[in-house]
C-alpha cells in the first residue's frame, strides 16, 4: 500500500471536515443569535432527538430480513423495562438465534 497522502485527496478530506464542522456549530451560532426562542421552534428542537434517531433505525427494520425485524421487536419490548446493555444483548442474541438456529 502507498503510505503518502495525495494532496488533492487530503484537501478534499479537509474540505469535507470543514463542511461537517460547520453543521456542528451552525445550530449553536444560529440559536445564540436569537434573543428568545419562539415556542414552536422550541417544540421542534425538543423533537429533534426522537425524530433523527428514528430515521437511523427505521430503514434497518423496514428493509431488513425477518431476522432483523424479530431482533428489533424483541429489543423494543425488552427496552421498555430494562437498561440499554440488556436490550442490546437481547436483540443481538435474537438475531444470532434467527440466523444460526432458524436459518432466517
Partner 1 sequence: MNRNEIVEGLKGGAVVALSSASFAVLFGAVAVDNGLNLPEVALMSATVYAGASQLVGIELFGQHVAAWLVVLSIFAVNFRHVLYSAALTRYLTHFSLGQKLLAFFVLIDPQFAETVRRAESGKTITLEWYLAFAATIYVPWLTFSIVGAAFGAMIGDPRVWAIDVLLPLYFLGIVVGFRRKPNFYPVVLASFIGSILGYQLVGSPWHVSIGAAFGVLVAALLPLSPPPGTKTAKAGHS
22: its cell numbers: 460547520
Distance in Å, CB of 104 to partner 1, minimum: 11
CB of residue 63 to partner 1, shortest distance in Å: 7
49 backbone φψ class: left, alpha, beta (φ>0; ψ -120 to 50): alpha
Q: How far is the CB of 68 from partner 1 (least distance, A)?
A: 6
- Phi first, then psi: give them for residue 61, nearest 5 degrees: -70, -45
Amino acid at each position: 500500500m502507498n503510505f503518502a497522502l495525495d494532496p488533492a485527496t487530503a484537501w478534499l478530506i479537509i474540505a469535507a471536515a470543514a463542511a461537517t464542522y460547520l453543521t456542528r456549530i451552525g445550530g449553536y451560532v444560529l440559536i445564540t443569535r436569537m434573543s428568545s426562542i419562539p415556542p414552536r421552534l422550541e417544540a421542534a428542537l425538543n423533537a429533534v432527538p426522537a425524530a433523527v434517531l428514528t430515521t437511523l433505525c427505521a430503514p434497518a427494520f423496514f428493509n431488513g430480513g425477518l431476522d432483523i425485524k424479530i431482533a428489533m421487536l424483541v429489543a423494543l419490548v425488552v427496552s421498555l423495562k430494562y437498561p440499554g446493555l440488556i436490550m442490546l444483548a437481547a436483540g443481538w442474541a435474537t438475531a444470532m438465534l434467527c440466523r444460526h438456529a432458524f436459518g432466517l
